[in-house]
Every structure is written in C-alpha cells, then in structure tokens.
Amino acid sequence: MGQQVEQVEVAAVQRLAPGHYAIAADLAELIDQLDDLLRTRLRSTFGEPGPVTEWRYPVLLSAEALRRSGYAENFPHLVSVVAPARQTRPELEGLIQESADPVADGPFPLTWFGPADLVLPPTMCLHVYEQLRLTGVDPVQTPVVTARGPAFRREVDEAAPLTRLSGFQIRECVFFGSRAQVLRWRETAQLLALEVTDQLGVDARLAPASDAFFANPDGRRSRQSQLITGAKFELLLDACGVDVAVASFNFSGRKFLESFELAAADWVVSGCLGFGLERFAHALVCAHGSVPAAQAVLHRAAL
C-alpha cells in the first residue's frame, strides 16, 4: 500500500522548491472536502455556546502580533518575514543599474528594504487574538472562533512532502471561557476527531505532547509539566505505517489573553485546536490507496 500511495502522490504533488509543492486538482479537491467535513462537524458540535463565529483572515500577520505571541522567541528558525522596499521604483531601478555585481548582490539586497512589519503567520489562531486586541471585543462574546487559512513554517522534509511543508492549510478553532468550559470543549473536540477518523477508516490515537511555544525560559521543566498536566494533545494518524500528527488540542490558559492585553475578566482562559489539512489528506490516501477512493469515503461520511 505504501509504495502504491507513493506513486499516486508523485503524480499529484510536484516539487517547486524545498518545502513548496504544487498539488493536482483532485488532491486539492480532497483537501477542500476534508475541510468542509471538519468545518461542518465543528460548527454543529460547538454551536451550543455560540453561535460559532467564522472569519477569513489575510495571508499576512503583523510582526507585532507575532512578537506578542512569543513564537519568534521559541521558533526563530521557522519565521518568515515580509519587508517593504525603502525606495520608490525609480530609485530602486537606479540601484539596480549602479550595482557592481548584480549576481553577487542578489535580486533583492537587504539594504533595499525597511523594517519587517509583516510576517507569514505560523498559525491561524494569532489572527484571532490580534483581532480581539484591535477591536477591544470581550472574548467571551465570541466563545468559539473558527477559521481556515495558510500557515508558514520553514520546515522541510523532502522524504515526506505532504507532512512537512513550508506553507500549508490549517482549520483552527479558538475557545474562550472558564477553565472548566475550555477544557470540556477541548475534550469534546478530541472525541469528535476520533469519531471522524473512525468514520473515515483511518487508524488514530491521541497522545500527550509538549510545545516550546508554551515553555518558560528553562524549557525542560516546562515541557515536563505540560506532559503531566495535559496542556497539549496530538491526534496521530497512521500514514503508510508512520504516525503523523495531523491535529493538536491545546490549553493555553491566560498566556495569550495577557500577552495580547485582551479585554477579558480574570477568570477567562483560552484554548485552541488545529487540523493540518494536507497531512490529514495524506493519511486518508494512505488508508484507502488512491485519491478517488479517499474522496468516496469522505462523501459517505458527509451524508
């Protein structure tokens, strides 16, 4: 099965650059179908405290939001920034003509650019916290927020293109409420994920995990504490004999409410979940042998 799937994905995925791949239309459609199923199930499951609020966020995130999140401190090697040109077009054209060695200088020398005030978002949830900071809305007024969008991390694994991409799609939910509420909603989401994977015929299990995103400076002690307290769980799927983490379920407590200075009462905490759609689709194709077979299973599950 693994060799068969590898042949299928070679035809459906073409490498453009390290960590960047073109995806054929049928595989892209499978990813969209998967997201439709997850979105529908999440909205119906969490419509009780809501309604669920859904947004489409821009591709870029402010550097200020990334700074507040602490992501760059923990994962500086995964961050990609977007910097504006300092000069006008005529000035830049003059610099190009004056360059003694355009090849050595590169097509875009760093001296042409100003401070990087925008970044490629490493995860969708940071848009939610930044939106609430800028609007001043009390998070408990929107207890469940969901969004699908691109995330970017400078990760490359040439051996498994769909499981380690520099840019990929995420379906996320962010929860706001009391500690008991957020933990209950997270548990509900975990059970929903297991129910969906069972319907889709994919072997799945939940496992405790840790994340340096939530670590304090000493790191090690914090990671051990996360494992003990269950701050993070991952959904692991069998993808051609290899366990692949396709989703995470996180309890972040007061961390982001405080770092983003949100207008929330002291008892309010937050948590989030995120599904990596390309990874999930890869596991589906592994389980059923082809993209059309995986699409048929998704179609039946959606009925």
Tell me, yes or no, whether 239 and 149 share the same domain. yes
* Domain edge (last residue) among 68, 98, 119: 119
Tell me, yes or no, whether 239 and 206 share the same domain. yes
Tell me, yes or no, whether 202 and 147 share the same domain. yes
Q: Are strands 20-23 and 13-17 parallel, antiparallel or unpaired?
A: antiparallel
Tell me, yes or no, whether 112 and 144 share the same domain. no
Tell me, yes or no, whether 8 and 141 share the same domain. yes
Check residue 218 and give its pLDDT.
47
* Domain edge (last residue) among 62, 93, 119: 119
Tell me, yes or no, whether 41 and 134 share the same domain. yes
* 3-state DSSP percent of the chain in helix, strand and coil, to 5: 45, 25, 30
Check residue 250 and give its pLDDT.
96
Range(s) of the domain holding residue 115: 84-119
User: pLDDT in tens for each of the 303 residues of the chain?
Assistant: 555 555 556 578 888 888 888 999 999 999 999 999 999 999 999 976 567 999 999 999 999 999 999 999 889 889 999 888 777 777 777 766 766 555 555 666 667 777 889 999 999 999 999 999 999 999 999 999 999 999 999 876 666 678 888 899 999 999 999 999 999 999 999 999 999 999 999 999 999 986 655 554 444 445 555 554 578 999 999 998 899 999 999 999 999 999 999 999 999 999 999 999 999 999 999 999 999 999 999 999 998
How many helices, marked H, and strands, marked E, lie in the chain? 12, 12
Q: How many domains does the chain have?
A: 2
Tell me, yes or no, whether 217 and 180 share the same domain. yes
Tell me, yes or no, whether 282 and 187 share the same domain. yes
Tell me, yes or no, whether 75 and 88 share the same domain. no
Could you give the angle at the alpha carbon of 276 between the alpha carbons of 273 and 279, nearest 5°?
145
Tell me, yes or no, whether 112 and 134 share the same domain. no
Identify the sign of the CA torsion 82, 87, 90, 94.
Answer: negative
Q: Are 127 and 121 in contact (CB under 8 A)?
A: yes
Tell me, yes or no, whether 252 and 108 share the same domain. no
Tell me, yes or no, whether 191 and 282 share the same domain. yes
Instruction: Residue 18: give its domain's CATH number.
Output: 3.30.930.10
* Domain edge (last residue) among 100, 119, 138: 119
